[in-house]
Structure 1
Amino acid sequence: MSDRFIVLSGCSGGGKSTLLEELRRRGHAVVEEPGRRIVQEELAAGGDALPWRDLAAFARRAIAMALADRERMHDHDGLVFFDRGLIDAASALEATCGEPVMAALATQHRYNSKVFLTPPWPEIYAEDPERRHGFDAALCEYARLEKTYPALGYETVVLPKTPVDARADFLLARLG
Structure 2
Amino acid sequence: MFTVMWAAFRSSFVGLLAALRFLAYSYIVGTEHRSHSPYTMPHIYSGFPIVQHLFDRGVPDVIGYLRLEGLDVPANIQRAGELFRYNKRVFIAPPWPDIYRNDAERKQDLKTACRTFETMAAVYTELGYELVELPRCSIEDRAEYIRSSIR
Is 1:51 the equivalent of 2:10? yes
Q: Work out which of the residue numbers 109, 132, 144 in structure 2 matches 1:134.
A: 109
Higher relative contact order (CA 8 A, sep 6+): 1
Query: Closer, same or farther in 2 for the Cα pair 1:137/1:153, shift >3 Å?
Result: same
Query: Percent identical across equivalent pairs?
Result: 31
Over the aligned positions, Cα root-mean-square deviation in angstroms equals 3.2
Q: Which has the higher strand share?
A: 1
**2:64 maps to which residue?**
91
1:24-173 correspondence runs (5 A): 51-52=10-11, 63-67=19-23, 78-96=51-69, 97-101=71-75, 102-173=77-148
8 Å CA contact retained: 2:88, 2:129: yes
**TM-score w.r.t. structure 1 length?**
0.56
8 Å CA contact retained: 1:62, 1:86: no
User: Structure 1 stretches (4+) deviating beyond 4 angstroms?
Assistant: none
8 Å CA contact retained: 2:64, 2:120: yes
Q: Distance in 2 between matches of 1:144 and 1:153?
A: 14
**TM-score w.r.t. structure 2 length?**
0.64
Query: Closer, same or farther in 2 for the Cα pair 1:164/1:132, shift >3 Å?
Result: closer
Q: CA deviation at 1:123?
A: 2.1
Matching residue's letter, 1:65 = R
**2:43 maps to which residue?**
none
Pick the structure with greater CA Rg: 2
Q: Distance in 2 between matches of 1:141 and 1:164?
A: 21
Cα offsets for 1:102-148 (capped at 9, x unmatched): 43011221001010011111122111233322110000000111111
Flag structure 1 segments of 5+ consecutive residues without an equivalent.
Answer: 1-47, 69-76
